[in-house]
């Protein structure tokens, strides 16, 4: 099983014909899925985040301790979900686009709304 993690979702990530299930993924489960693998776990975590979203990733780290910055690939991988794969979408609402600076303040992060969705291909 592959676990893809990103900040957005696109129709092209899914096979042409498939059944998908989306459910809310609470932060503790996100951290477990993205954390160190347990003995016998064969899942592979694939970071699909873009380096240009560093400030958003820093906000996730500050608010929940979810650190994806160290595993951002030089170029985002092509996501091609198959049966049994999971896509974790870490969405942030309420943070303005940064145009004149490179990071969010602690106050902005505290007021933002974070939601996590788990998309599973059946």
Q: What is the CATH number for 81?
A: 3.40.50.11170
pTM: 0.87
pLDDT digits (tens, 9 = 90+) for 56-109: 999 999 999 888 988 899 888 899 999 999 999 999 888 887 777 778 889 999
- Count structural domains, the chain: 1
State CA 44 to chain mean position distance: 14
Segments forming the whole domain that contains residue 9? 2-121
H-run or E-run covering 60: helix 54-64
């Amino acid at each position: 099983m592959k676990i893809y993690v990103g900040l957005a979702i696109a129709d092209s990530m899914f096979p042409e014909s498939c059944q998908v299930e989306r459910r809310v993924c609470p932060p503790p489960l996100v951290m477990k899925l993205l954390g160190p693998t347990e003995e016998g776990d064969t899942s592979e975590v694939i970071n699909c985040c873009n380096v240009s979203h560093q400030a958003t990733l820093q906000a996730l780290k500050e608010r929940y301790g979810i650190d994806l910055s160290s595993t951002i690939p030089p170029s985002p991988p092509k996501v091609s979900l198959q049966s049994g794969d999971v896509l974790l979408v870490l969405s942030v609402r309420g943070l303005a686009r940064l145009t004149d600076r490179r990071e969010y303040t602690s106050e902005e992060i505290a007021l933002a709304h974070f939601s996590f969705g788990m998309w599973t291909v059946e």
